[in-house]
Amino acid sequence: QVQLVQSGAEVKKPGASVKVSCKASGYTFTSYGISWVRQAPGQGLEWMGWISAYNGNTNYAQKLQGRVTMTTDTSTSTAYMELRSLRSDDTAVYYCARASGSGDYFDYWGQGTLVTVSS
């Protein structure tokens, strides 16, 4: 069965960086993209970006351009999301999700990783 398993919770200081991993299993990793979505406490869902696991092409949300980098390691079927220059409003649960072939919907989700930014 398809599974996406994310790394554990992180606590970071303002200005630091965080890197969250998402290990996929149960399907051919390079046949789908991975999107990252975050959710601040008590808030809705915010799309952060997408990466093709086939060729590494990326598409980032404009508001995060320059601070976010998404990568994949096809040898381990793992996707990564790094966010730099963290601010308190980056505190959120970060989800990875498998994107459909056309990238328009997300059919399997990771369990989420809480990133807390606090001095």
Looking at the Cβ atoms of 88 and 105, the one nearer to other proteins is 105
Is 68 a binding residue for other proteins by CB under 8 A? The answer is no
Looking at the Cβ atoms of 19 and 63, the one nearer to other proteins is 63
Is 46 a binding residue for other proteins by CB under 8 A? The answer is yes
* Strand spans (E) along the chain: 3-6, 10-12, 18-25, 33-39, 46-52, 58-60, 68-73, 78-83, 92-99, 106-109, 113-117
Is 40 a binding residue for other proteins by CB under 8 A? The answer is no
Compute the least distance from the CB of residue 81 to other proteins, in Å: 15
Question: What six digits make up the tokens of 119?
Answer: 């001095």
Q: How far apart are CA 85 and CA 67, in angstroms?
A: 7
* Structural contact between residues 17 and 83, judged by C-beta atoms closer than 8 angstroms: yes
Is 44 a binding residue for other proteins by CB under 8 A? The answer is yes
Judged by the rule CB under 8 A, the positions of this chain that interact with other proteins are 37, 44-47, 50, 59, 61, 95, 97, 100, 102-112
